[in-house]
């Protein structure tokens, strides 16, 4: 039940100020890193880096959401906390805490070269998977982020719904509230 997703075209350069801020912070963390580590990222940081060439991007986040609670995530979090004047904090979450397709690791997008890291392999969840992780919360910011990714990557309804179905099948049973939120989100995205 693995829907192969489209290849992601990454920005050639980082132009948006929020993306520059994130990349600079991660490079500072990378300078402190002596071993090679893999850091899978989702949430607003992933969205900001996917849209790094959009000079109109203005949203600033304070959190780097790491999709792991393993040793690499721990090391990344420790090193990030040592950055002088740190304006971003690392939050590591287990995948059991959010809705995502079970093969999300196979679809990660490497942005290490874009960001300019040497020791940290910075991996973003695929844009479709990023949107899926936001569906059960669905605040105004989630809606805006999802619409921006949907539009930027021209995410087709069939691709999205197939991927979502795989995520739902592997998630704990959805509550009535989850189902209701999911319905609203799909209507908002015009995927219902």
Domain containing 59 — which CATH number? 3.30.460
Query: Could you give the CA distance from residue 38 to residue 130 in angstroms, rounded to a whole number?
Result: 18
Tell whether 3 is covered by a domain.
Answer: no
Given this model, what pLDDT does residue 144 score? 92
pTM of the complete model: 0.94
List, for residues 101-129, the tens digit of each pLDDT value.
Answer: 999 999 999 999 999 999 999 999 999 99
List, for residues 54-71, the tens digit of each pLDDT value.
Answer: 988 888 899 999 998 899
User: What is the side-by-side order of every strand in the sheet holding 89-92?
Assistant: 89-92, 63-66, 37-42, 120-124, 109-110
List, for residues 135-171, the tens digit of each pLDDT value.
Answer: 999 999 999 999 999 999 999 999 999 999 999 998 8
Given this model, what pLDDT does residue 56 score? 84
Given this model, what pLDDT does residue 57 score? 87
- 97 pLDDT band (50/70/90 cuts)? confident
Tell whether 2 is covered by a domain.
Answer: no
The tally of domains found in the chain comes to 1
Given this model, what pLDDT does residue 98 score? 87
- Across the range 65-82, mean pLDDT stands at 94
Residue 89 — left, alpha, or beta (φ > 0 → left; ψ -120 to 50 → alpha)?
beta
Domain that holds residue 127: 17-188
Say if residues 52 and 11 touch (Cβ distance below 8 Å): yes
Tell whether 1 is covered by a domain.
Answer: no
Q: Between 96 and 45, where is the model more confident?
A: 45
């Amino acid at each position: 039940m693995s829907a192969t997703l489209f290849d992601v075209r990454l920005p050639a350069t980082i132009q948006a100020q929020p993306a520059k801020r994130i990349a600079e912070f991660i490079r500072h963390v990378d300078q402190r890193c002596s071993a090679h580590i893999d850091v899978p990222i989702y949430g607003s940081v992933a969205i900001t880096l996917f849209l790094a060439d959009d000079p109109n991007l203005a949203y600033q986040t304070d959190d780097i959401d790491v999709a792991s609670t393993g040793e690499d995530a721990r090391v990344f979090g420790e090193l990030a906390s040592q950055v002088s004047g740190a304006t971003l904090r690392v939050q590591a979450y287990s995948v059991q805490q959010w809705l995502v397709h079970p093969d999300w690791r196979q679809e990660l997008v490497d942005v290490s070269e874009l960001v300019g890291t040497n020791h940290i392999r910075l991996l973003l969840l695929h844009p479709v998977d990023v949107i899926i992780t936001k569906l059960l919360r669905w605040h105004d910011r989630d809606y805006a982020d999802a619409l921006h990714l949907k539009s930027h990557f021209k995410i087709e309804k069939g691709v999205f719904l197939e991927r979502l179905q795989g995520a739902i099948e592997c998630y704990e049973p959805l509550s009535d509230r989850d189902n209701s939120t999911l319905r609203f989100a799909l209507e908002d995205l015009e995927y219902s």
